[in-house]
């Protein structure tokens, strides 16, 4: 099934005003965006139009009840100028999983994929070619239907915006293991990419920043005994030569980079354990010297190494390794993403 897409091109591109050698992350926006409205019980014709502000009624339910979800993706160009996506159907599936939890109508695959491909075709010149750069893609949906009554809206907007971006993180980060605040709870929406999840992270993260840390390691909501995520990323912990990550749950996002790391690590004959890991186990490993690495995994940064962490007033430094798993895994993933290596998994989608 193909979707009908209306295209309204910008009169004059702003691309000549952009310094592609100095791109901040996610704050320079391409010429066009895709918008598709859900009205009268069905999705309307998708429109690719010039990037522009959105006009909403003050009673739109997004402002009052927070029905808002999003995804994060990237497009790349290889040395021959081919445009590529990385596991885009996983993003579409996860968006609709989030939509179901927040009672938002699912986006048809044709609207998501055909709209995304056409948008990238229209704004193809915006995809950076510099090493480490990419076109960050932000699909999102929110309630545009109006009403002050606490119930799901009857109208929604699905939008895709793109932003040429440089690397998200530079260097290693220092993190604080959270002892009081929780990112998510059992039965909640932690597994969904709901906007409110991230808004709720800002305050405890700000407290960590004030103490000199870059990010928070989230622990479980009940006992704060178990390591769960790192900032807005999934977390991996290496004890000796075993890589450990928490299982997904109501509280933990089913990260696409996370799944890719697990698969590639296993194929590198790295021992991978998907299980709960306690804070006390991590502390003991740090004290004994068996804690070798910790890193976050997510779309924006791919792999973000952790230099050290704080817990209950004590800081623990991680060793400097000659060949860390983090570097090997990041290289393997980015080489697939940018068509520098074979893709035995079928994850790379080259746009025609």
In tens, the pLDDT along 183-202 reads: 999 999 999 999 999 999 99
Q: Report pLDDT for 169.
A: 66
- Average per-residue pLDDT in the chain? 96
78 and 134 Cβ atoms separated by less than 8 Å: no
The pLDDT assigned to 2 comes to 58
The answer to whether the CB of 159 falls within 8 A of the CB of 33 is yes
Going from the first residue of the chain to its last (352 residues), give the mean pLDDT of each consecutive group of 10, the final group possibly shorter.
84 96 94 98 98 98 98 96 97 98 98 98 96 96 98 98 86 92 94 96 97 96 96 96 96 96 98 98 98 96 96 97 96 97 97 82
CA-nearest of 296, 333, 329, 313 to 134 is 333
Q: Over the stretch 266-296, which tens digit does the pLDDT of each residue have?
A: 999 999 999 999 999 999 999 999 999 999 9
The closest alpha carbon to 86, from 306, 328, 255, 210, belongs to: 255
CA neighbor of 88 nearest in space, from 133, 31, 137, 132 = 137
CA 301-192-48 angle, 5° bins: 75
């Amino acid at each position: 099934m193909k979707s009908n897409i209306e295209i309204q091109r910008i009169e004059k591109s702003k691309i000549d005003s952009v310094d592609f050698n100095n791109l901040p992350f996610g704050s320079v926006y391409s010429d066009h965006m895709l918008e598709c409205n859900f009205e009268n019980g069905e999705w309307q014709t998708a429109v690719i139009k010039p990037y522009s502000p959105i006009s909403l009624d003050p009673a739109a339910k997004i402002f009052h009840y927070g029905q808002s979800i999003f995804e994060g993706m990237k497009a790349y160009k290889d040395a021959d100028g081919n445009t590529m996506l990385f596991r885009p159907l996983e993003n579409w599936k996860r968006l609709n999983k989030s939509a179901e939890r927040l009672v938002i109508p699912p986006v048809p695959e044709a609207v998501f994929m055909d709209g995304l491909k056409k948008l990238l075709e229209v704004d193809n010149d915006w995809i950076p070619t510099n090493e480490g750069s990419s076109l960050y893609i932000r699909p999102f949906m929110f309630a545009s239907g109006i009403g002050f009554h606490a119930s799901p809206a009857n109208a929604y907007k699905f939008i895709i915006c793109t932003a040429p971006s440089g690397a998200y993180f530079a260097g290693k980060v220092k993190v604080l293991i959270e002892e009081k605040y929780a990112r998510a709870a059992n039965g909640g929406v932690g597994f969904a990419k709901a906007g409110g999840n991230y808004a709720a992270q800002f305050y405890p993260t700000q407290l960590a920043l004030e103490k000199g840390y870059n990010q928070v390691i989230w622990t479980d909501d009940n006992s704060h005994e178990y390591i769960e995520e790192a900032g807005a990323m999934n977390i991996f912990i290496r004890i000796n030569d075993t890589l450990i990550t928490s299982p997904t749950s109501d509280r933990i996002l089913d990260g696409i980079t996370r799944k890719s790391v697990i698969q590639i690590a296993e194929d590198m004959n790295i021992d991978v354990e998907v299980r709960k890991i306690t804070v006390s186990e991590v502390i003991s490993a740090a004290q004994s010297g068996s804690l070798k690495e910790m890193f976050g995994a997510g779309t924006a940064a791919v792999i973000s190494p952790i230099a050290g962490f704080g817990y209950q007033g004590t800081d623990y430094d991680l060793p400097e390794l000659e060949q860390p798993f983090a570097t090997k895994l990041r290289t393997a993933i980015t080489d697939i993403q940018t068509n520098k290596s074979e893709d035995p998994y079928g994850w790379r989608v080259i746009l025609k």
